[in-house]
Amino acid sequence: MRAQPADLPIQFESVTVSAGAVNILDGLSLVIGAGAPTMVIGPNGAGKTTLLRVAMGLIAPSRGVVTWDGVAAVPPARRAIVFQRPAMLRRSAADNIRYALNAAGIPRGRHDARIGELLALVGLDAFGTRPARRLSGGEQQRLALARALARDPSVLFLDEPTASLDPAATKAVEDIVRAVAARGIKVVMATHDLGEARRLAGDVVVLHRGRVVENSPADEFFRSPRTAEARTFLAGDLLL
Ligand SMILES: Nc1ncnc2c1ncn2[C@@H]1O[C@H](COP(=O)(O)OP(=O)(O)OP(=O)(O)O)[C@@H](O)[C@H]1O
Ligand SMILES: [Mg+2]
């Protein structure tokens, strides 16, 4: 895996994503630069998943523009996303990764070594031959991470990868996120979990009703949030 902050920053300029009369993202402007993970937080329906999909290039804005590396109108090839509920193929853990290596055009001769390396990175060395769909929820999330990393991304988008996991499985995923970030891969991760944001964030983006209400370095955000919405969210009160 290479370590270079290519393809950054990702810049949203007045981005609106509409569905009928509703604006899921509402004139949102944001710059995501290199560095420690950017954590996107906010209540259900705030637009976190939509933001990640737009940043990944899977959804085109209804209005506004997104650029990568300042200029590019098309998203870079070296990007990957792990969806909120990743679907495993009905084959072994190793072959799920093999599928991704094929899709990324990695020569076959390199597959076995790369699969071993990726399974080790996510702590699934002993699970290569197991049917992926029989793995536990936490193991499947780790396999989904390995599969995403098969593309050798420079930017990795993670949509609430720990949402349904217990504390031990959550820690395993967070340790992988740290290892990935330490290799120079930019992580952009949505979460509901403030503790997780605190543990992983370089900077924090608070979304509310399709808008960025706060975007700060993590230490600043947790010490002195600037907006009422962020304070409400931090206090554990319901942000509706
Ligand atoms: N294709 C669509 N058509 C209509 N509404 C949509 C569509 N996609 C998303 N929405 C709505 O937009 C809002 C934001 O959705 P999004 O999934 O981005 O939120 P989220 O912050 O990821 O929420 P959660 O925390 O529940 O995952 C929601 O109210 C959702 O129902
Ligand atoms: Mg979501």
Per-residue pLDDT, 233: 81
Rounded Cα gap, residues 148 and 222, in angstroms: 30
Ligand number nearest CA of 40 is 1
Structure tokens at 124: 């699934």
Average pLDDT across the chain, whole number = 92
Report residue 237's pLDDT band, with 50, 70 and 90 as the boundaries.
low
Ligand number nearest CA of 54 is 1
Q: Of all protein residues, whose CA lies closest to atom 17 belonging to ligand 1?
A: 49
Rounded Cα gap, residues 126 and 154, in angstroms: 27
User: Is the pTM above the cut of 0.75?
Assistant: yes
pLDDT mean over 135-154: 95
DSSP string, 134-198: GS-HHHHHHHHHHHHHTT--SEEEEESTTTT--HHHHHHHHHHHHHHHHTTPEEEEEES-HHHHH
Between 188 and 228, the higher pLDDT residue: 188
Residue 1 has pLDDT above 60, yes or no: no
- For a substitution probing ligand 1, which of 24, 62, 157, 193 has the most ligand atoms within 8 Å of its CB? 24
- For a substitution probing ligand 1, which of 50, 189, 193 has the most ligand atoms within 8 Å of its CB? 50
Q: Mind listing the domains of the chain with CATH numbers? A: 10-234 (3.40.50.300)
pLDDT mean over 219-238: 84
pLDDT tens digit string along 185-205? 999 999 988 899 999 999 999
Q: Of all protein residues, whose CA lies closest to atom 26 belonging to ligand 1?
A: 44
Residue 119 has pLDDT above 90, yes or no: yes
Between 143 and 227, the higher pLDDT residue: 143
Residues with CB under 6 Å of ligand 1 are 19, 24, 42, 44-50
Q: Burial level of 102, CB count in 10 A (0-12/13-18/19+)? A: middle
Residue among 31, 46, 38 nearest 211 (CA): 46
